[in-house]
Amino acid sequence: MKLLVFGDTHGSSKAMKSIREKAKNADLLLCIGDVTVFEQNFRSIMKQLDKLGKKMLMIHGNHEGESSMRKQCEMTKNVKFLHERMVEEEGYVIAGFGGGGFSLTDSEMKSFFLSLKKKIDDKPLIIMTHAPPYKTTLDDVHGSSCGCKTVRQVTEKLKPIYTFAGHLHENFGKRDQIGKSKLLNPGPFGMIITFPKV
């Protein structure tokens, strides 16, 4: 399974062009939020993403509200809102929690992810958040950590194969690891990750 993962496009036509090209070689698209600049041109952007013609799982960033993102996704054919939800794709469980980016902790996020433990049933897990995990290369801004401790905690406890997170533009394309869990900020131009058959 080939996943195209991206986020923080903020309405950029250059980023959209890159996503459009890469989507041709992907089986599934994951978007970790901030597709707009405070919801400007929201409908137009969502139409463009829908026209890619590929199934997309999306969470909102800090530039979109939860309810408005849910509504926009419901108006599309191919984009599914994954905030506080999990789905299974080709044997992998993909779970998402959107919004945030500025909080050190998030009790709702913690409750949601930890509630998955019994439901996952040892299937490989992929986590999508907008906020980056604390004390990693994904949350490093000029030597200071400004990510989310909750993202780190759930990654440590659930041991996903991947945690995808964005928000901090300084760290586009950066990778790290927590235990065996790989971390990635895919950036606005997107990155394709290939997952073996389960």
- What the block records as the tokens of 196 is 């073996």
pLDDT given for residue 182 in this prediction: 98
**pLDDT 10s digits, 49-68:** 999 999 999 999 999 999 99
Which residue is it, tokens 């990654």?
A: 155
> What DSSP state is assigned to residue 132?
P
The percentage of residues in the chain with a pLDDT greater than 90, rounded to a whole number, is 96
**pLDDT 10s digits, 138-167:** 999 999 999 999 999 999 999 999 999 999
This model's pTM is above 0.95: yes
Mean local confidence (pLDDT), 170-188: 98
**pLDDT 10s digits, 117-132:** 888 988 999 999 999 9
What are the structural domains, with CATH classification, of the chain?
2-194 (3.60.21.10)
The identity of residue 32, as a single letter, is I
Mean local confidence (pLDDT), 28-41: 98
Cβ burial, residue 70 (10 Å; 0-12/13-18/19+): middle
pLDDT given for residue 74 in this prediction: 98
